[in-house]
Amino acid sequence: MSIIQCTNLTKDYGNAKALSDLSFTIEENTITGLIGRNGAGKTTLLKTIAGFIKNTSGEISVLGKNPFDCLDVSANTFFADDNMAFPVELTLSELLEEISNFYPNWDVSLAKGLFEYFGLNPKQYHAGLSKGQKSTFNMIVALSSHSALTIFDEPTTGMDASVRKDFYRALLKDYIQYPRTIILSSHLLSEIEDILENILLLKNGTKVLQMPVENLKEMAIGLRGDINSINMLTNGKEIIHTEKINGNHILVVVKNDFTETALQQANVLGVEILQVSADDLCVYLTAKSQGGIDDVFNRAKLI
Amino acid sequence: MTIIFPIIIILITVVFVLKKNTTKLSIPVKYKKYFVFLYCTILFVSTIVLYFIPKNNLISVKKPTEPISKVLRELASQDKLNASTGLTQKGTFIFDYSGKTLKIFGSSINIEFICKRKNIDDGKIEATNYVGDFSYHGFDIPDKINPPSMKLMKNELLLSDNKSKIDIKINNFTLDFTTNQFIKNENYETMPLFPMKIVYLKIPKSLQIDNTSCNTLQMLN
Amino acid sequence: MMYLIEPNSFNILKKQYFFKLKTNFGLIFNLILFQIFAIFLSLVVKMTSSSFGMDELTFYVSSFSGNIVIGFTLIWACTVPAILTNSKIRNIDFTFVSNRFTSNISNIGLLITLSLFGSVTACLSSNLIRVLFYFISNPKSIVNEGFFVSPQYILISIISTTLYIILVMSILYFLGLLKQLTKVFIILFFAIAVAIILGFKLFSSTINFTLIDLINKVFNFYKGESSLVVFAVKVLLTALVFFSGATLISSKLEVRR
């Protein structure tokens, strides 16, 4: 059953299109990673799903309803980002108590346990926390709410590496115990690809791809070698990324639809076959140009 | 000038309050709660205390009495100028005067003169000062007012102001405008009747009074 | 599988209302500060003083009342909706469970509760002023009438002041939400307001009715009313209009941007 369904979803801000003709579905009880560059529309999409922002055109249905101004969606969704608004007057422990009133599925022991584990001070005020501590607190609240749809927008901002690791582990463990639909948006795909099930890749407000993580890892391969050999191998294929190494050697990333024989041919030609990580692949797929940042320097040389 | 100053204070407070609410806390909430609780307690206590304040300590309003000048003539002719009719006697002067005419100068004082002819020509003029009852928020002032000094010079009776100054400060509490809007006020603040100053002259039978410079003279007979 | 929660609007409203009572305590603290300052001013500044006298006698009459406190409470009442309609504060609702309707109605509930509290403290503070004055200055100089406020007058005062505060808050709440709308609407709103004002200025000679007259008329509509019941009806209807307008506006607003 699909929890979220979008058809031709568009969101304009004046002349700029934040989301443009976006169509996808997210199934129940999955962890989806929302990946894309800055300004790709991730936050806009997530806020539209949560019902904070109204789409300009197209259809969106969350839990079977339009999420904008919908109490049902709000009661079953938790949206955690790095500027969550909390009342200034309450201490952290008071906050946890107040929040638990709003969520019938609130897990008191989990909240308490995580709170103590991360060493947060119950008598402190939210405004006095550091950025990393704020993210930690937001994460604790989001997990303990046990909402059917939990959305994390850049949840690890400011967290140090060990806290991030703990967060992913906690997320996974709780998800296994109490399955729910989770959407996670992050820059650090390399860190989270182990816990993600699916990936939704956005570029300029449009969907580039949506597929399970394993498929993404296998989707492309890198070829490194002589420029002529590579051109031969990749004749007619769609090149995802090109990179000049030195002299005549280049690196090329293409879709992995090579047959066994083609791969052997590559070996013969002295072309190296490389794995492309999901992280790098997403970067290439959402790049503006094929050559990446090297283009800037190449152009400079020409001039 | 005096209007601008409070307006500036108000504007500053409003801006300060608005700014403060979107930034971090300065005073812990617990102290604020105690403070508010204390204030509310003081308010309730003061309301109760108010009802225990004895009324007698304060000034109360007496009904304004009728202006006496109308009935002055009658009172005088009946010899009723004394305390029972609300007048306080303030001293009597007796002058020896043997002239034929008497001019009375009241200067700028508001005095009512009443003149009664005696039956005999004894060459004496009796002048008695009276001060009328004063009715404004029940203040009893007559004892504070000094009678004007009188001098007899040649054929003129001169009355002059004494330079004493009496300042009385009253504090009046009114209801708030939100209550006043719905209550019909019994107006107890009428214009005060100023103390009537009266000089009662008993003059010799054949004395002529020249009252050209004094127009509050009433002759009785 | 998490079973889906089916929220009840009324339930959420109640939770939000009590939540807001707890978290907006700072507003009450502000009120107390305003009132303490006003009480101080009331004791020191003479509202009216007149003097009259004759000959050697001069009377100086100074009038005191709780009007300064009520005035300052009304000023505080102006700051409250401005704070509540601030986008940062509005966003707090949407961190948790809310829709625009519940957020709005719980705000209105908070406003009415604060009005009542502000009114009670303002009216009782006139008693405090009287008591303080009695102990500070010579009791012999205080007039009896008007010093003791009978309980029914206090009650009338509380009801009336609450209504005034609600009136002010409802208008400013509406304006505060209006401010959150896109710039287009705000410009439109001001354009209409300016057009009305200019229209009056231009045609005042023919209509025989100036803008000042209109403002006076509006003031007197409320202030000139001498029946408490009719006044209550007037204020509550006006507040209803503005609060409904505010609810309409808020349903269009985006949050957490």
Average pLDDT, chain C: 86
> Are the C-beta atoms of A281 and A241 separated by less than 8 Å?
no
The pLDDT > 70 percentage for chain A reads 98
Structure tokens at B136: 């404004």
Confidence at residue B209, expressed as pLDDT on a 0 to 100 scale: 72
Structure tokens at C53: 């006298």
For B176, which of C32, C58, C157 is closest by C-beta distance? C157
Cβ contact, residue pair A180, C2, below 8 Å? yes
Give chain A positions within 8 Å (CB) of C100. Answer: 69
Find, among A53, A46, A54, the residue nearest to C257 by Cα: A53
Cβ contact, residue pair C130, B50, below 8 Å? yes
Judged by a CB distance cut-off of 8 A, whether residue A87 touches chain B is: no
B12 vs A87, more confident: A87
Rounded to whole angstroms, how far apart are CA atoms A148 and A150?
Answer: 6
> Are the C-beta atoms of B60 and B138 separated by less than 8 Å?
yes
How confident is the model over C4-55, as pLDDT tens digits? 888 889 999 999 999 999 999 989 999 999 999 999 888 887 767 777 776 6
Mean pLDDT of B147-154: 70
Confidence at residue B74, expressed as pLDDT on a 0 to 100 scale: 63
For B182, which of C55, C76, C156 is closest by C-beta distance? C156
Structure tokens at A219: 């989707």
Mean pLDDT of A61-74: 92
Judged by a CB distance cut-off of 8 A, whether residue A89 touches chain B is: yes
Q: Which residue of C has its CA nearest to B51?
A: C148
Report whether pLDDT(C1) > 50: no
Single-letter residue type at A65: K
Report whether pLDDT(A134) > 90: yes
For C4, which of A63, A88, A103 is closest by C-beta distance? A63
Judged by a CB distance cut-off of 8 A, whether residue A98 touches chain B is: no
Q: Compute the half-sphere exposure of residue A230: CA atoms within 13 Å on the CB side of its CA.
A: 23
CATH of region A217-302: 3.30.70
A2-204 and A217-302: identical CATH topology: no
Give chain A positions within 8 Å (CB) of B25. Answer: 88-89, 125, 127
- To probe the interface with C, which of A1, A74, A96 has the most C CB atoms within 10 Å? A74
Cβ contact, residue pair B29, A89, below 8 Å? yes
What is the full DSSP assignment across C28-91? HHHHHHHHHHHHHHHHHS-SEEEEEEETTEEEEEEEE-SHHHHHHHHHHHHHHHHHHTSHHHHH
Q: What pairing do the DSSP bridges indicate for beta strands B111-117 and C57-64?
A: unpaired
DSSP H or E segment with residue A254: strand A249-255
Closest Cα in chain B, distance from residue C228 (Å): 6
For A178, which of C2, C7, C24 is closest by C-beta distance? C2
| pLDDT band at A145; cut points 50, 70, 90 | very high
Closest Cα in chain A, distance from residue B29 (Å): 7
| pLDDT band at B213; cut points 50, 70, 90 | low
Mean pLDDT of C121-138: 90
Confidence at residue B1, expressed as pLDDT on a 0 to 100 scale: 45
Rounded to whole angstroms, how far apart are CA atoms A84 and B133?
Answer: 76
Judged by a CB distance cut-off of 8 A, whether residue B184 touches chain A is: no
Report whether pLDDT(C159) > 90: yes
Closest Cα in chain B, distance from residue C130 (Å): 8
Please report the sign of the dihedral spanned by the C-alpha atoms of residue C168, residue C172, residue C173, residue C178.
Answer: positive
Report whether pLDDT(B82) > 80: no
Rounded to whole angstroms, how far apart are CA atoms A108 and A104?
Answer: 11
How confident is the model over B12-45, as pLDDT tens digits? 777 776 666 555 556 778 888 999 999 999 999 9
Residue C61's beta-bridge partner residues? B170, C50
B104-113, B117-126, B149-158, C219-228: least confidently modelled range = B104-113
Identify which of A211-215, A267-271, B83-87, C180-184 has the greatest average pLDDT. A211-215
Judged by a CB distance cut-off of 8 A, whether residue B141 touches chain C is: yes
| pLDDT band at B203; cut points 50, 70, 90 | confident
DSSP state of B59: B
Q: What pairing do the DSSP bridges indicate for beta strands B111-117 and A249-255?
A: unpaired
Cβ contact, residue pair A127, B24, below 8 Å? yes
Confidence at residue B97, expressed as pLDDT on a 0 to 100 scale: 74
Confidence at residue C74, expressed as pLDDT on a 0 to 100 scale: 94
Domain ranges across chain A: 2-204, 217-302
Average pLDDT, chain A: 89
Identify which of A210-214, A249-253, B110-114 has the greatest average pLDDT. A210-214
Judged by a CB distance cut-off of 8 A, whether residue A88 touches chain B is: yes
Please report the sign of the dihedral spanned by the C-alpha atoms of residue C183, residue C188, residue C189, residue C191.
Answer: positive
Structure tokens at B76: 């005088």
Confidence at residue A94, expressed as pLDDT on a 0 to 100 scale: 92
For A221-236, b/e burial (b = at least 16 CB within 10 A) is bbbbbeeebbeebbee
Question: Which 200-219 residues of chain C touch chain A by CB within 8 A?
Answer: none
Q: Which residue of A has its CA nearest to C26?
A: A89
B4 vs C31, more confident: C31
Q: Residues 6 or more apart from A208 whose CB is under 8 A from it?
A: A201, A202, A285, A286
> Are the C-beta atoms of B104 and B168 separated by less than 8 Å?
no
Report whether pLDDT(C166) > 80: yes
Cβ contact, residue pair C2, A179, below 8 Å? yes
The pLDDT > 70 percentage for chain C reads 91
Confidence at residue B188, expressed as pLDDT on a 0 to 100 scale: 54
Judged by a CB distance cut-off of 8 A, whether residue B55 touches chain C is: yes
Terminal Cα-to-Cα distance of chain C (whole angstroms): 31
Rounded to whole angstroms, how far apart are CA atoms B69 and A292?
Answer: 111
Give chain B positions within 8 Å (CB) of A127. Answer: 24-25
- Given CATH 3.40.1190.20, say whether it is the number of domain A2-204: no
Rounded to whole angstroms, how far apart are CA atoms C141 and A238?
Answer: 100
Q: Which chains touch C (3 or more CB pairs under 8 A)?
A: A, B
Show the CA angle centred on residue A164, arms to residues A160 and A168, nearest 5°. Answer: 180
Locate tokens 């010079």: which residue? B153
Rounded to whole angstroms, how far apart are CA atoms C179 and A191?
Answer: 43
Average pLDDT, chain B: 70
Give chain C positions within 8 Å (CB) of A105. Answer: 2, 5
Give chain B positions within 8 Å (CB) of C157. Answer: 175-176, 178-179
Interface size, chain A vs chain C, as Cβ–Cβ contacts under 8 Å: 92
Q: Going along chain A, which residue ranges are E strands?
A: 2-13, 16-27, 31-36, 57-62, 77-80, 149-153, 181-185, 198-203, 206-212, 220-226, 239-246, 249-255, 272-275
Give chain A positions within 8 Å (CB) of C257. Answer: 47, 52-53
Interface predicted TM-score (ipTM): 0.85
Confidence at residue A44, expressed as pLDDT on a 0 to 100 scale: 92
Cβ contact, residue pair B176, C66, below 8 Å? yes
Rounded to whole angstroms, how far apart are CA atoms C152 and C75?
Answer: 26
Helix (H, G, I), strand (E, B) or coil at A203: strand
Q: Side by side, which strands form the sheet with B166-173? A: B166-173, C57-64, C48-54
* Cα A92–chain centre separation: 28
What is the C-alpha R_g of chain A?
22
Q: Which chains touch A (3 or more CB pairs under 8 A)?
A: B, C
Q: Which residue of B has its CA nearest to C127?
A: B47
How confident is the model over C67-125, as pLDDT tens digits? 999 999 999 999 999 999 988 899 999 999 998 999 999 999 999 999 999 999 999 99
Interface size, chain A vs chain B, as Cβ–Cβ contacts under 8 Å: 9
